[in-house]
Amino acid sequence: MGIGFFVTGTDTGIGKTTVSCALLLAFAAQGKKVVGMKPVAAGSENGKWLDVEQLLAASNISVTRQQINPYAFDAPVSPHIAAQQVGMEIDLTLIHRFYQQLSSKADIVIVEGAGGFLVPINQQKNGADLAQTLNLPVILVVGMRLGCLNHALLTAQAIRAAGLTLAGWVANCIDPQMLVLEQNIATLEQQLDSSLLGVLPFDLKMETQKIASFLDIVTLESY
């Protein structure tokens, strides 16, 4: 069985897919068989879920779309609401089954969560429960903007309260006008007590292969 990591973020739209794909490419460059998984995707564009398409493109083994993405909803809303709107309930057991199938074929499985870490998945469970069900170490993507210190520290606290390991974090510079960026990163390095895997510069046109070069995955190889 391969090893896996659960990628979460300080919010939605802060680069989880970008980091997930970059991690896949970085591991693939080491000769690993890699696959991305997006258990729940909410928000389609012209009948496509772009995060799922990007994860498929960054994977290097042949798997089914259903294995990668068991649940896909058109509405760009919280997963539990999107499921309710179409008369469904997201089943974590089913997601776990598909994860095991992927893990049996790949050396590395990168699982991208939906939204933030505690986003509701169904009426009883949230993103933390999903990470617990899969029993994966967590990688936190911090969208570097005003307020990120609080968001990052609260998320790290929630990850550890769930009994999970914060394997590392990535500083994604999503706001080119952010003040005292370096000091904010230094504060998080000091207080998150976890490995900084990389700092991604603000560049909307940067290719994923280039982004992968900013990541240091050495500390992840011990898992």
Nearest residue to 59 via CA among 12, 98, 21, 111: 21
**How many angstroms separate the CA atoms of 206 and 223, rounded?**
29
Q: Tokens 């949230």 correspond to what residue? A: 126
Backbone angles phi, psi at 212, to 5 degrees: -60, -30
Q: Which of 38, 48, 205, 210 is catalytic?
A: 38
Torsion of CA 175, 180, 186, 189, to 10 degrees: -30
**How many angstroms separate the CA atoms of 198 and 15, rounded?**
13
What residues are paired with 111 via a beta bridge? Answer: 6, 37
- Coil, helix or strand at residue 72: strand
**Catalytic-residue membership of 125:** no
With beta carbons less than 8 A apart as the criterion, state whether 58 and 36 touch: yes
With beta carbons less than 8 A apart as the criterion, state whether 50 and 16 touch: no
Query: Which residues have a catalytic role annotated?
Result: 38
